[in-house]
Chain A
């Protein structure tokens, strides 16, 4: 388990990137809540480490992030790409404890 940052380090409805066991992880915070998602920071289409800079929102009842480069959508909970069923971002489990964000 890694304690990566304070919850308040992530402005509501935005993302940041954390280094976790040598991997780049994109963390997104839903609104002004304690709900935080973690997916790989690597954009498989754009081939760059940018996912944390994507815009988040909902598609139906799924939370999603849109790639900042070419706008593919990914399910924040499962990492699945909405446009290409063969593509999936790695995901991590996140805990928020005492105002800190932890990656499992």
Chain B
């Protein structure tokens, strides 16, 4: 049987999802698939578009690559728009004149931004926000602008406002309606959202109808409003809604809705049976769905219908039945969620409202006339209840107990009222991006998945927007419990102990090598990549011996074993210690010289030091010899150990500093450098309460006051930020160090494997008060022992790189081949912004070709 030919017009998120569904299906081999993209790149994540301004590149946003399409056999053409459909001959023609036949045509042309017909709207700095190209234009315009206005206070408009704010512009939002996000939010929610956004420095103007855009006096433009007021701005971003891109369908005779949109039936077929429309260009039941989840659902329905009609000749099994438009997101850092009938349009509906002006939280529930069912909700400032509420509504479940308790804050000590996941039906959709039900997750657990990555790999749940993560975890835990699976706390198959128990055993019995621990406490076998580094770390925390000693070298993980941070291509980054972030000009020059000599990519780290990337294994010893000669020591950036002590400039220079934060930071860094721990440890010291060193986001934070040091503990930045807890106030230098000694040693002894201090604190029974009791009041009578332990570690410090470069036997390992002087030939680099970086997959292919087929000279 010859292959069926599918042409997909448009390579946006939904078009790509359709292609992906096809190429990963059992029927992939029965189709040829061809797609045309109007833009000059393949599909990317438009939902995350605003990340482009916070550092994501176009590559980060990409949903696929040309190489991936090639390997999947997808034929694609960029930069070429389909301009003609001949539905009789079943062919399409593109702008460049290319003609392709099809068995089935799928229109996924998406939408375009609506720009209101305002005189003056077509000037240079009047832009829209939809594609990466738009973003590039916005970026360019922002560089020559001081003030920016977003026209439209909807979801996308506020995201665009965030982008302008991130670009450093004075940002305004102009909205025609009386409130922000009028579609999703009620009056109370819109009001609070406005207040919060204005607190962030974005000015909001509602009920403004722009009459014209003319030349400004202070700024580039002036927007004159119908009420006689005006606003001056250097640039204008239109985000006043979207319109379905239905031009092609309209031109070639497909049915179009009164207000636009390609009319489709429940199988996403247009008025021509062989032409489908999916995503934002499709009009189903007179509705356009401007979210990605319904678009993906349409892609699935259309694909199934195509298979049913062309291949299996079955009755269609899957139909599009509309989609829930509930949404949860973070706009300019404000949590906002809207569920179902957010405006209470349902006849007889009643509502519950919770409004906390102090904490800036607004929640409203819309319930049925009998108070039993949830119809909708608006959440602003705190959207934690979203998952629970959404499930209640989607599954038409009875509200458990008093509806008000769903939005009231939990009183002290009480668990917040949630919905037991066991109450959810098997069909409850948990992940809407990939349509994963509770039943799917349960099945995955029954099939052996017992971690979140397992579940993600098996079902794809949580890999879209990630909003369902908490719920997925609950379903997984509940299912595991139901199956009687015990959560095993053994560190791995080789030891029936937790890390904490291992640390106790090693300390009490005085073991000094892994071999001893394994022989006396292990379950047989040789150990593995879990227990070896864990025990290696425990031994180092107590004894602080050279980690590359014969007895210890086999325990060291990826980074420690070569005292460098392995990067994606197998090269290393090098970080010399810069205590307190203080560095002499000579030191800077020395680092610069090394970086230059070895052509290392150089970047300033968040911990006030300098990271040098791209060093090959055999280069490490020479690099370190030079750094050590210049007076540097290893920075332990590779270790689960003390990283940096960040500091502000303190009282020595700053007009506001009250204590010498730099000297304290240097003293602390030099005291604790080389301390290995269950996870990395970061410190900061601020010279006054302005807190420029951001000490409250560190494991150990120290802040100067007029009356001494304040000590904060167990803070964290990163993926799950946690503010450090105030542990003790007004300390002198000596007491400060004593308390830090004790806290750190207690952490080293009792924390779990790879557990940061923040999680350690959160899991500690008795919490902060307990830790204070142990460290300040010595309630366990161990403080002397803890201090002794720390004194031992501090006394045993050595710069591991210094030891290594002085040890010819050890240096042998620092070469790529044990039997040849050659380098790894698999490394490829390109230059970007004046420095070297690893080549991407595509660039690498080009470089390899270039190397094997040098361009021939003319003959």
Contact = CB atoms under 8 A, between A and B. Distances in A.
Nearest to A27: B818
A55 B526 contact: no
Interface string A5-17: 1000111111011
A12 B554 contact: yes
B745 interface: no
A10 B554 CA distance: 11
A82 B817 CA distance: 27
A48 interface: yes
A68 B559 CA distance: 8
B276 interface: no
A63 interface: yes
Contacts of A46: 568, 570
B529 A71 contact: yes
Nearest to A22: B825
Nearest to B554: A13
A94 interface: no
A12 B550 contact: yes
Contacts of A17: 816-818
Contact of B525 (A5, A53, A57, A68): A57
B570 A49 contact: yes
B566 A55 contact: no
A47 to B, nearest CB: 8
Given A57-B527, A58-B525, A18 B554 contact: no
A70 B406 CA distance: 42
12 contacts: A11-B553, A17-B817, A18-B817, A31-B526, A48-B570, A53-B558, A53-B562, A54-B558, A55-B528, A57-B531, A58-B527, A59-B528
A16 B816 CA distance: 8
Interface in A37-64: 42-43, 46, 48-50, 53-61, 63-64
Interface in B811-858: 812-813, 816-820, 822, 824, 826
A89 interface: no
A87 interface: no
Given A14-B553, A49-B826, A19 B819 contact: yes
Interface in B555-607: 556-558, 561-562, 566, 568-570
B493 interface: yes
Given A9-B818, A10-B818, A11-B553, 10 more contacts: A4-B818, A4-B819, A14-B813, A18-B818, A19-B822, A43-B570, A55-B533, A58-B527, A69-B570, A73-B529
Contacts of B493: 59-60
A53 B818 contact: no
A53 B554 CA distance: 10
Interface of B is mostly: loop
Interface string B532-545: 11000000000000
Nearest to A57: B528
B818 A56 contact: no
Nearest to A32: B550
B215 to A, nearest CB: 55
Contacts of A14: 553-554, 561, 813
Contacts of B813: 11, 14, 16
A14 B529 CA distance: 12
B48 to A, nearest CB: 23
A5 B529 contact: no
Contacts of B561: 14, 53, 55
Nearest to B817: A19
B826 A48 contact: yes
A91 to B, nearest CB: 18
Most A CB within 10 A of own CB, among B529, B553, B816: B529
Task: Classify chain B's interface size.
Answer: 20 to 34
Top 4 A-B residue pairs of the complex, sorted by shortest distance between their CB atoms? A13-B554, A57-B528, A66-B529, A48-B570
Interface of B: 493-494, 525-529, 531-533, 550, 553-554, 556-558, 561-562, 566, 568-570, 812-813, 816-820, 822, 824, 826
A57 B529 contact: yes
A5 B818 contact: yes
B824 A49 contact: yes
A81 interface: no
B493 to A, nearest CB: 7
A56 B532 CA distance: 9
Contacts of A57: 494, 525-529, 531-532
A30 B526 contact: yes
Contacts of A19: 817, 819-820, 822
Contacts of A11: 550, 553-554, 813
Nearest to A61: B525
A49 B558 CA distance: 13
Nearest to B561: A53
B566 A53 contact: yes
B528 A5 contact: no
A64 B532 CA distance: 13
B714 to A, nearest CB: 27
Contact of A69 (B526, B566, B822): B566
A54 B531 CA distance: 14
Contacts of A30: 526
Nearest to B821: A19
A16 B822 CA distance: 14
B526 A48 contact: no
B73 to A, nearest CB: 18
A64 to B, nearest CB: 7
Contacts of A59: 493, 528
B209 to A, nearest CB: 55
Contacts of B824: 24, 49
Nearest to A11: B553
A5 B529 CA distance: 26
Contacts of B550: 11-12
Contacts of B568: 46, 48, 69
Contacts of A9: 812, 818
A30 B494 CA distance: 16
Contacts of A5: 818-819
Contacts of B820: 18-19
A72 B603 CA distance: 30
A50 B554 contact: no
Contact of A55 (B532, B562, B570, B822): B532
A42 B826 CA distance: 10
Contacts of A12: 550, 554
Most A CB within 10 A of own CB, among B561, B813, B819: B819
Contacts of B554: 11-14, 55-56
A68 B568 CA distance: 10
B131 to A, nearest CB: 31
Nearest to B844: A47
Contacts of B818: 4-5, 9-10, 16-18, 27
Most B CB within 10 A of own CB, among A54, A55, A59, A73: A55
A63 B529 CA distance: 12
